[in-house]
Structure 1
C-alpha cells in the first residue's frame, strides 16, 4: 500500500550466478581443472533464471560427480521443457529432488507436514522420521538416531535445508526455503491435508492431518472428522502470538477412531485431560503432550504403548511423575520429562533398555533422580535443565558406559562430584 512504485527483483547476473555455482559444484580451486564441466555448468546456470536457490541446489547436486555425462544429463533433463510460467526455479528444484536417493526423498517430503518458516531441530526431526519407519539401518550395531543425523547432513549438503545453526555436536536447527516447501507440498498434496479452515474435507487418501489455523478453539469440525480411521499422523501447529484449544470431545474422537496413528502431536493445544483410551493406539511411536501445563496426571493406559519411541512431557509442570509402569514402554528411546514430584521412582525409567536420550527439564521440585540409572546401558545423552532444587546425581551415572553427552543448565543447587567430561 502507498504511492511508492514497486521494485521488481531481477535475477542475479550470469557472472554472479557462476560464482555461486562454482562454490557449490566444485571443491576449492578445482573448477580450473575441469574446463569442459565449466562450459556445461554455464549452460546449466543460464537455465536457473538467476535465482540463487536454484543455482545452489544444482551446484550441490553435481558436487560429488566429475562425470561429463552426469553434467550433460542435468543440462538436458526433460524437466527443463515443462511450462512453469517461464520460471525455471521450480524445474531446477524438481531436478534436484529427483536425484535424491529414495530414502531421502521420503524424509524430505514428510517435512511438508509442518508450515512454511517452521524451525526444525535435528533431535525432533529424527524422531519424527523414525516414527514412520523412514530410517534404514544396514548394520544392526548402528543406531537409528545416527542414521537420521546422516540423512539431515546429506540434505543440508544438497541445499534442501537452510538457516542452519549448530549448537552442539549433533544438535542443529534449520528451516526449509519457501519454494522447497512448495515443491514438497505439491508432491504430498494427496497424502497430507493442511487444515487452515473449517470447511476442508479429509478424504480416504489423506494419511496426515496438520492443523495450522489456531486463532480460535478447535471444536468438532464435521468435514474434517470424516475418514479419520485412515490417518497416520495428526499435528497441531502453534501460530506465534495465538493459542489453540482443542475440545475434549474432539480429542476423544481422535483417539477412539484413529487406530493406526503413528504420530500425535498435541503441543500448545491447551488440553487438561489425556484420554483414557490413549493406550489403544497400538501403533503410536511419537507422542507430544508437552507445553500443556494444565495436565496433572497421565492415564494408566499410556503404559500400554509398547511401540512408543518418543514421548514429550516438557513444560507439564503440574504433572505427577511417571509411575513404575513406565518400564512397560519397552521401545521408548527419547523421553523429555517434566514433573512436580521431588524424586523419580526406582524400577521405572531405569528399566528402559532402549533409552538413547533422556532429558529432564523444568522440574521445580525435583531433588533426586532414580538410583538405578546405571541400568541404562545404551544411554548416549543425559540432559538436565531448569531443575533448581536438584541436589545430586546418582552414583550410577559413573557407570553409563555409552554416555557421550552430559549437560546441565540452571541447576544451581547441584553438587557435582564426578570425573566426567560434561558435554
Structure 2
C-alpha cells in the first residue's frame, strides 16, 4: 500500500465520521476540495496554536512573517519549520517574498505548498531544502525547472500541474526517492506543446520509486 493510499484511507474515515465535508469531486470521483465544519475548525486551530504546530497568517504580508513570530517570542520557529502551506485563490507570494521567507534557512522543512502563488521561477533557496519531501507548484507561472532540482534528494512528490513547464532537466534523475510526478501543463496550442508534448530525460525509467 502506497503512502497516498494510506492517506486517502485516513481521509475517507474522517469523511465517514462527518468530521470532514466533501465540497467538490473530480470526474473520476476523487476529492478536489474538502472542508471542516466551523466548530471543528475553531477547535483544531486553538489546539494547534497551543502546541505551536501551526501559525496562521491572514494578512498576506509573507515578508513580515518571521518578524511577527519573533515578536511573540517563538525564537527559532522558522529554523524548525516542517511545513509551509500558502492558501488563497490569488496568492500574493512572489519570488522576492519567498526568498526572504526562506532566507532563515528552515533546514527541517519537508512540505512546501506554493499552489497558485505568483511565481514565474523557483527561488534558489528552495533547492537548499535538503529534507524537502513535498513540493507543490500547481497553478503557478513557473516555466523552467532548474538543474538544481537534483539537490532535493529526499523529494517524494512534485506537482507541476497547470504550470508553464514544458520539460524536465536531467537533474531530475537524481531524485531516487521520487514517488509522484504530476506534469499536466497548461496547453497553449499555438506553441510547440501541441506537437512535441512534455519532454523528460530519456533515462526517466531509472527512477524506480516513481509510481505516477
The reply to whether TM is greater than 0.5 is: yes
Is 1:161 the counterpart of 2:5? The answer is no
Q: How does 1:69-88 map to 2 (within 5 A)?
A: none
Question: Could you list the runs of 5+ residues in structure 2 that have no partner in the other structure?
Answer: 71-75, 187-191
Cα displacement (A) at 1:285? 0.8
**1:178 corresponds to which of 13, 27, 38:** 38
2:114 counterpart residue number: 266
3-state SS of paired residue (1:223): helix
Is 1:275 the counterpart of 2:130? The answer is no
Cα displacement (A) at 1:246? 3.0
CA distance in 1, matches of 2:65, 2:7: 36
Aligned partners of 2:130 and 2:153 also within 8 Å = yes
2:206 counterpart residue number: 351
2:149 counterpart residue number: 302
Distance change >3 Å, CA 256–CA 274, structure 1 → 2: farther
CA distance in 1, matches of 2:66, 2:9: 42
What is the Cα-based RMSD across aligned positions, in Å?
Answer: 2.6
Cα displacement (A) at 1:167? 4.3
Question: Could you list the runs of 5+ residues in structure 1 that have no partner in the other structure?
Answer: 1-141, 198-212, 358-423
Q: How does 1:213-228 map to 2 (within 5 A)?
A: 213=60, 218-221=62-65, 223-224=67-68, 226=70, 227=76, 228=78
CA distance in 2, matches of 1:237, 1:183: 20
3-state SS of paired residue (1:322): coil
Is 1:288 the counterpart of 2:147? The answer is no
3-state SS of paired residue (2:155): coil
Distance change >3 Å, CA 163–CA 266, structure 1 → 2: closer
Distance change >3 Å, CA 320–CA 224, structure 1 → 2: farther
Aligned partners of 1:275 and 1:299 also within 8 Å = no
Cα displacement (A) at 1:316? 1.7
CA distance in 2, matches of 1:150, 1:344: 33
Q: Which has the larger radius of gyration?
A: 1
Cα displacement (A) at 1:146? 2.0
2:161 counterpart residue number: 314
Distance change >3 Å, CA 308–CA 243, structure 1 → 2: closer
- With a CA cutoff of 8 Å and minimum separation of 6, indicate the structure with the bigger relative contact order: 2
Q: Which runs of 4+ in 1 moved over 4 A?
A: 164-170
CA distance in 2, matches of 1:320, 1:312: 13
Deviations 1:331-375 (A, max 9, x none): 111222138762423434322211222xxxxxxxxxxxxxxxxxx
Is 1:335 the counterpart of 2:181? The answer is yes
CA distance in 2, matches of 1:163, 1:253: 32
1:369 counterpart residue number: none
Cα displacement (A) at 1:144? 2.1
2:7 counterpart residue number: 148
Q: How many residues align?
A: 194
Cα displacement (A) at 1:260? 0.7
CA distance in 1, matches of 2:87, 2:175: 26
3-state SS of paired residue (2:41): helix
Aligned partners of 1:231 and 1:258 also within 8 Å = yes
Deviations 1:97-118 (A, max 9, x none): xxxxxxxxxxxxxxxxxxxxxx
Cα displacement (A) at 1:237? 0.8
2:73 counterpart residue number: none
Cα displacement (A) at 1:221? 4.5
Cα displacement (A) at 1:314? 1.8
Cα displacement (A) at 1:261? 0.3
CA distance in 2, matches of 1:243, 1:191: 22
